[in-house]
Amino acid sequence: MGVSLAERDTTILFVGDMHLGRLPARVPVEVMGGRLPPLSELGPGAAWLRTAGQAVRLGVDAVALAGDVVHGANDLFEGANELAKGLEILAAARIPVVAVAGNHDTRVLPDLARRGGITLLGAGGTWSAFDLAPAGRAPVRLVGWSFPAPHWEASPLQSPPPPAAPGVVTLGLLHGDLDVPGSRYAPVAGAGLTATGYTAWLLGHVHRPDEPPVDGRPFYLGSLTGLDPTETGRHGPVLARIGGDGRLELQRLPLAPLAWLSATLDVGAAEAPARDLPTLVRGAMEDAVLAMPGGPADALAVGVRLTLRGAVAEPATVRRAAAALVDGPDACLSVGSTTCFLEKLDVDVQERLDLASLAGTADPVGLLARRILALEGAAVVPGVADPAAWRAAMLREARGRLADIDAQPPFAPLDTDSDDATVSREILAAARAVLEHLRASKGGDRAPDPA
């Protein structure tokens, strides 16, 4: 992995949400005929063992866990076993483990800590510290707070944490909602954390990993490995190096055995997109994996959510080809030592049309074509004096209708506000779908799309 440690640096490996006991979702192991590793090799337990092994190889001075170590009481047996395996590896190397409890393990983690192998910080919603003083190296103080209950609407900072120790790098470890007032999960203000004077705050709770900052801003470690396709990006622990001069360096180690990513494939320029779709998709998947920062690195598997876009002669034919492709033999390929699989194939293609010609007609097809041109920002639309004003009026009308829908009881609790770009995109998608249907029902002349 190319990690080297200065002999006089104090080093700590910080681990975000693991949710031990869970397995990753939407990995089609059953339909891939043994081409993918089993789920047990791709989930949090495997990621934790990788992390423990890397901690030993690097000879770190401590490992710190930022909460939601175990997913919950229902996963206690499996999660505790997975946790114990990593703790045994670290204990054999005499590497201490400190942790805070998150909202998922308020009862489980304190119980596990009492069994040994973990020092729990901030038990019961208080603040406590752990001092690390390796011989001949920089002393470090870790300060943490643990969830006292699964829901906690007060800020942890209502009880002030201990002040930063003079001449000692102090690092805060916390599980909570950063800058989300009113949250039920320990809402905390970033400005308040910064005001403590700590060198850095390393957070759990949000599974999206932040890029480790260089200015000491609070940041999310992210989940140790992506648990579902929404958890894209490079996951893994963050290595902290603390120098004798107070210098702090943070580096993410991409140890997750499973990675997720999203990519887009424009099939508009393809000569025969439906016929060539398997080749096009495999090429797009490989390109997306190779374009990951650092390449696939240590990932055993990468799930790709691919969106097809572009204007084609026969959208329906492309959609049928896409439906046949998912879970088929072309939905999985090897990129070096990494197995890449197609998690989902979204089809957002549109019919290739001469909208300007269609807009000149006085039928529903012409009206829709004029609306689409205006929504796409055309400067000239047949029969429309001011396309920009017409577009603005359409967006106002759409927003009004959406507001009426959002006000209905089933939707009232949802955050459904969208900007003009999102509303415009949704209107365009609906308008093009209706236009395609109208033309198909009229039997309009269209060039065939070779299959």
pLDDT score, position 293? 79
Q: Is residue 62 part of a domain?
A: yes
CB-based contact 264:306 (threshold 8 Å): yes
Residue 295 pLDDT class (50, 70, 90 cuts): confident
Residue 122 pLDDT class (50, 70, 90 cuts): very high
- Two tokens, residue 167: 């001449």
CB-based contact 147:204 (threshold 8 Å): no
Distance of alpha carbon 333 from alpha carbon 238, whole angstroms: 30
CB-based contact 220:190 (threshold 8 Å): no
pLDDT at 429 over 70: yes
Based on the fold, state whether residues 380 and 425 are members of the same structural domain: yes
pLDDT score, position 253? 95
Comparing 349 with 293, the larger pLDDT belongs to 349
Q: Which of 252, 287, 322 is the last residue of a domain?
A: 252
Q: What is the mean pLDDT of the chain?
A: 91
pLDDT at 249 over 80: yes
CB-based contact 175:68 (threshold 8 Å): yes
Instruction: Tell me if residue 224 falls in helix, strand or coil.
Output: coil
Based on the fold, state whether residues 77 and 164 are members of the same structural domain: yes
- Two tokens, residue 426: 């949704």
pLDDT score, position 413? 63
DSSP E strands in 406-448: the ranges are none
Q: Is residue 222 part of a domain?
A: yes
Backbone angles phi, psi at 178, to 5 degrees: -80, 120
pLDDT at 406 over 90: no
Residue 138 pLDDT class (50, 70, 90 cuts): very high
pLDDT at 448 over 50: no
pLDDT at 447 over 50: no
Q: Which of 203, 236, 252 is the last residue of a domain?
A: 252
pLDDT score, position 308? 97
Instruction: Tell me if residue 88 falls in helix, strand or coil.
Output: helix
412: Cβ contacts below 8 Å, ≥ 6 apart: 406
CA neighbor of 325 nearest in space, from 266, 276, 288:
276
pLDDT score, position 267? 97
CA neighbor of 327 nearest in space, from 278, 377, 375, 376:
278
Instruction: Tell me if residue 119 falls in helix, strand or coil.
Output: strand
Residue 417 pLDDT class (50, 70, 90 cuts): low
Based on the fold, state whether residues 223 and 318 are members of the same structural domain: no
Based on the fold, state whether residues 63 and 160 are members of the same structural domain: yes
pLDDT at 306 over 70: yes
pLDDT in tens, 144-184: 999 999 999 999 999 999 999 888 999 999 999 999 999 99
pLDDT at 450 over 50: no
Based on the fold, state whether residues 196 and 286 are members of the same structural domain: no
pLDDT score, position 280? 97
What is the chain's alpha carbon radius of gyration, rounded to the nearest angstrom?
27
pLDDT score, position 225? 96
Based on the fold, state whether residues 158 and 179 are members of the same structural domain: yes
26-62: b or e for each residue (b if 16 or more CB lie within 10 Å)? ebbbeebeebbbebebbbbbbbbbbbbebbeebebbb
DSSP E strands in 17-76: the ranges are 62-65
Task: Return the number of other C-beta atoms located less than 10 Å from residue 365's C-beta.
Answer: 18
CB-based contact 288:263 (threshold 8 Å): yes
Distance of alpha carbon 140 from alpha carbon 164, whole angstroms: 10
pLDDT score, position 6? 59
pLDDT score, position 35? 87
pLDDT at 76 over 80: no
Residue 323 pLDDT class (50, 70, 90 cuts): very high
- Given strand 200-204, what is the order of strands in its sheet? 127-132, 140-145, 169-175, 200-204, 219-220
Number of structural domains found in the chain: 2
Pick the most confident of 93-97, 338-342, 372-376, 384-388.
Answer: 93-97
Cα 216 to chain centroid distance, Å, stands at 22
Q: Is residue 205 part of a domain?
A: yes
pLDDT at 445 over 60: no
320: Cβ contacts below 8 Å, ≥ 6 apart: 274
Amino acid 241 reads R
Instruction: Report CA torsion sign: 217, 220, 224, 228.
Output: negative
Q: Is residue 101 part of a domain?
A: yes
- Helix 315-325 vs helix 420-442: angle between axes, to the nearest 10 degrees? 110
CB-based contact 349:280 (threshold 8 Å): no
- Two tokens, residue 10: 């104090």
Q: Is residue 181 part of a domain?
A: yes
Q: Is residue 60 part of a domain?
A: yes
Based on the fold, state whether residues 237 and 337 are members of the same structural domain: no
Instruction: Tell me if residue 295 falls in helix, strand or coil.
Output: coil
Based on the fold, state whether residues 188 and 287 are members of the same structural domain: no
Mean per-residue pLDDT, 215-242: 95
Query: Which range marks the domain in which residue 221 is found?
Result: 10-252
Alpha-helical runs (H) found in 220-363: 277-290, 315-325, 355-358
Based on the fold, state whether residues 243 and 264 are members of the same structural domain: no
Q: Is residue 159 part of a domain?
A: yes
Based on the fold, state whether residues 348 and 219 are members of the same structural domain: no
Q: Is residue 421 part of a domain?
A: yes
Based on the fold, state whether residues 81 and 220 are members of the same structural domain: yes
CA neighbor of 402 nearest in space, from 415, 383, 391, 390:
415
pLDDT at 390 over 70: yes
Q: Which of 197, 224, 252 is the last residue of a domain?
A: 252
Distance of alpha carbon 223 from alpha carbon 225, whole angstroms: 5
Residue 449 pLDDT class (50, 70, 90 cuts): very low
Based on the fold, state whether residues 200 and 301 are members of the same structural domain: no
Residue 451 pLDDT class (50, 70, 90 cuts): very low
- Two tokens, residue 13: 């490996």
Of 58-67, 77-86, 185-194, the poorest mean pLDDT is in 77-86
Mean per-residue pLDDT, 356-384: 92
CA neighbor of 148 nearest in space, from 202, 193, 97, 103:
103
| DSSP class of 70 | B
- In this structure, what CATH number is given to the domain that contains residue 17? 3.60.21.10
CB-based contact 311:260 (threshold 8 Å): no
